[in-house]
Amino acid sequence: MRRLYPAPGAAAPDLAEDRQWGLDELADAYAYPAPEADGGWWLRANMVSSLDGAAHHEGRSQPLSSDADMRVFGVLRGLADVVVVGAETVRQEGYRPARVREAFAARRAETGQTPAPAIAVVTASLDLDFSLPLFQEPAATTLVLTGARAPADRVRAAEAAPGTEVVIAGERAGADPAAVVRLLAERGLTRQLTEGGPRLLGQFVAAGVLDELCLTLAPVLTSGTAPRIVDGPSPAVPERFALRSLLEEDGFLFSRYGRD
């Protein structure tokens, strides 16, 4: 891996070398901003895209990934208080509880974080298998965020899972995206990471609550009918983001964009 932007200066020439970065180096590169600078929380998205704009191949993101992408994926999780994900992604990707990783134990302890991030599932229908480990035995309680008009029987099924808490985030059947980030922050989960999918990310973009996008561009062409990484209603005015950093390994580009 090497850093393309900002250009490495004379004080850090090794960042321009093509070598495998350690987890601490990646963690420093992707560190969240200081809490006092972000207004209470920071919502970061991590997504991967093919060269032709596909968010997945045949329903899964794994064919677009690489070893370096998985290292970045693990680091972003290692830094987060909570991972926010849509129900469809939970079903398609076979989500499991986040693991406690020794490599991040000291860093998380210093910042007062739990040993592993919580998983927060955003869903309107609650059409999920609550017998899975994600809902039965997570390292940190799994949060299911939905609306006040969600199916009552599915809410009861979620509440019966011992490792799960249901959070009502809005008056509709589905969760309100702005309420999601606010309610998570009220629980002390201010370092927020969403891994999509595209429809959930589209809701966050339309609501204007996304602070940062970490986008892996995979050097592959997929064709097909997969959606873009953001799939949903357009905001009234497109919001501009600024490039913060750009890394490269084996033709994969790892970009980081923040609110301009």
Domains and CATH numbers, the chain: 30-259 (3.40.430.10)
Q: What is the pTM of this model?
A: 0.94
| Cis preceding-peptide flag for 197 (omega within 30 of 0) | yes
Average pLDDT over residues 230-256: 92
Average pLDDT over residues 175-203: 95
On the question of pLDDT at 22 being above 60, the answer is yes
Find out whether 98 and 80 touch, Cβ atoms under 8 Å.
Answer: no
Q: At 68, list the tokens.
A: 């370096």
Of the chain, the percentage scoring pLDDT greater than 90 comes to 82
On the question of pLDDT at 93 being above 90, the answer is no
Euclidean distance between CA atoms 148 and 167, whole angstroms = 9
Lowest mean pLDDT among 75-79, 133-137, 235-239: 235-239
Band (pLDDT 50/70/90 cuts) for residue 92 is confident
Band (pLDDT 50/70/90 cuts) for residue 40 is confident
Find out whether 122 and 88 touch, Cβ atoms under 8 Å.
Answer: no
pLDDT value, residue 196? 81
Euclidean distance between CA atoms 140 and 161, whole angstroms = 13
On the question of pLDDT at 38 being above 90, the answer is no
Band (pLDDT 50/70/90 cuts) for residue 39 is low
| Cβ within 8 Å of residue 116, ≥6 positions away | 97, 98, 99, 100, 101, 139, 140
Tens digits of residue pLDDT in 142-182:
999 999 999 999 999 999 999 999 999 999 989 999 999 99
Radius of gyration of the chain (CA): 18
